Structure 1
Amino acid sequence: MNRLRSALWLPLFDDLADPRVVARLAAEAEEAGWDGCFVWDHLCLQAPPVRQVADPWIALTAIATATERLRLGPMVSPLARRRPAKVARETATLDRLSNGRLTLGVGLGSDRFGGELSKTGEQIDDRRRGQMLDESLAILAAAWSGEPVRHRGEHYTVDDITFLPRPTQRPGVPVWAAGFPGNLKPIRRAARLDGFFPVGLEHPDRLAEVVATLAELRPGASGPYEIAVGLPFDVDPLPYAAAGATWWMPEFDPGVPLDTVRGVLRDGPASPGGD
């Protein structure tokens, strides 16, 4: 069985829209033996009574300064609505601030939950956003190298900019891609990266199928590869660890009360399993 790490996965709404509260939760989680603290990345959400929303990068900065060991990051950030050159600066700066603890979760995002793409004039076509995501990832990898970036693509231009300082981690910040297990395209994208975050996973047998597909797509690959699963906090994560999961994140509903989060936090991380 894989060693199963545990992370809080915080929706930054209402009670959790205050970065000071989130930072205190992260510090408490670190003291209680948790391994990570990841946050949602949304501008708005049509899920009354949610009214307040925090910025993920500011919240992650607060987490980084309040902790010493926890892995942290957005889970996941829809890169198609962010400028990749700006993300390159943000990720490098945050990785250095956290002494190399940043993981960048990425995905297509969706207009279904709050109209946050259409309401801000962003691209709503899934195929086009997928192209933008892949182009952004190419720019980020080039930026993290510390070499001059000369990119002229269909969606973005970066004309001879060197992004220094580099992130602490080498060759760059680990990237995990999200996607539905039944869709092969995001799995193929994830196979080129450092980890996969399956969305809507309903059974550990389904995860085992995904892990097998990833193994086929990564022949001869070396180094760590992460499989992160979000599950209701009353679901036993250990069968998923047996199927290949390396990270467990208990799911919280948007607008979750702070006391509920603290209760899960105090119950402690999952049993780590074998190495």
Structure 2
Amino acid sequence: MNTLRGLFVAPFDALADPRVIGDLAAKAEAAGWDGFFIWDHLQYGDRVDAIADVWTCCVAVAMRTERLLFGPMVTPLPRRRPQVLARQAASLAVLSGGRLVLGLGLGDDWVGEFSSFGDEADPRVRGRMLDEGLEVLSALLSGRPADHEGTHYVVRDACFRPAPAVPIWLAGRFGNRAPMRRAARYNGFFVIGLDTPEDLQVVTAGLADHDPAPGFDVVLDLRPEQDPAPWLDRGASWVLTRIGPFDINLADVQRIVEAGPGSATSNHDAPSAT
């Protein structure tokens, strides 16, 4: 398997400017990276002061690049209206010539990401909202007539176009089987919290039990100082280099980006940008 390499970028503090994100994405494309994926948060605790909106950043990436796959990684679907998200995703896919990947997940309330704004804080309820929201989102992105009457969402006689193809990756923490089962029904699984390459093999074996469709992506992220070599050829289609979330230095980030994906295999002294 040819493992693709991408960047997993927190648009925080020194990077909390869509113009800077656009510049970095252009540099990443020139340096040979395959993807550029952006965190989606409203707040991130006391150590992060400034945060940029993920959708504005995605537009900047789409406009500054021609080849990179990109997208939010990950958007907590339970805090967004799936019909609005469907319109946003379709428009970004058209704008970028079909390069958008929609990363979705449950979200986490550990810094009040939901409760601070009156959104649903119970992860069990958010799980049910995520499953139902995925049904609505998928129906609207299909371009076919959609109707839905559910606990959390209603769609009556809607048909959204344009309807470009938008792959959906679902995120989940290693060891939690519910996100894996959910992801297997879509286009990819972004697995968080792997400690060893052997953990990745556990994930790929578990996914095989759920029979994902051909072309299904298995995605993981590593810190810049981690050697990706032991993780390659173990079933992951994407290995991302994490940028952030704390104490981000723009000059360090630019060096990581401009060095390209090949340098990480041999450069164990890269700045952490964390």
- Fold match (TM-score > 0.5): yes
Deviations 1:191-237 (A, max 9, x none): 1111111111100101101101101210xx54311111111111121
Is the counterpart of residue 230 in structure 1 residue 221 in structure 2?
Answer: yes
Runs of 4+ in 1 over 6 A off after TM superposition: none
What letter corresponds to residue 151 of structure 1 in structure 2?
H
SS in 1 for 2:148: strand
SS in 2 for 1:242: coil
Size of the aligned set, in residue pairs, is: 264
Structure 2: any 5+ residue segments left out of the alignment? 266-274
Structure showing greater relative contact order (alpha-carbon pairs closer than 8 Å, 6 or more residues apart): 1
Query: Contact conserved, 1:4 with 1:270, CA < 8 A, in 2?
Result: no
Query: Contact conserved, 2:101 with 2:168, CA < 8 A, in 1?
Result: yes
Query: Contact conserved, 2:9 with 2:244, CA < 8 A, in 1?
Result: no
State the partner residue of 2:94: 96
State the partner residue of 2:269: none
SS in 2 for 1:266: helix
State the partner residue of 2:243: 252
SS in 2 for 1:94: helix
Q: Counterparts of 1:227 and 1:212 in 2: how far apart (Å)?
A: 11
TM-score by length of 2: 0.93
State the 1:147 CA deviation.
1.4
State the partner residue of 1:213: 206
State the partner residue of 2:253: 261
Q: Counterparts of 1:43 and 1:272 in 2: how far apart (Å)?
A: 30
Q: Counterparts of 1:257 and 1:54 in 2: how far apart (Å)?
A: 16
Q: Counterparts of 1:197 and 1:28 in 2: how far apart (Å)?
A: 24
Query: Contact conserved, 2:228 with 2:264, CA < 8 A, in 1?
Result: no
Q: Counterparts of 2:146 and 2:202 in 1: how far apart (Å)?
A: 38
What letter corresponds to residue 81 of structure 1 in structure 2?
R
Identity between Structure 1 and Structure 2 (%): 47
State the 1:271 CA deviation.
7.7
TM-score by length of 1: 0.92
SS in 1 for 2:11: coil
SS in 2 for 1:243: coil
What letter corresponds to residue 249 of structure 1 in structure 2?
L
Deviations 1:151-210 (A, max 9, x none): 11110111111111112x2xxx11111111211111100111111111111001011011
Counterpart mapping for 1:114-193 below 5 A: 114-167=111-164, 169=165, 173-193=166-186
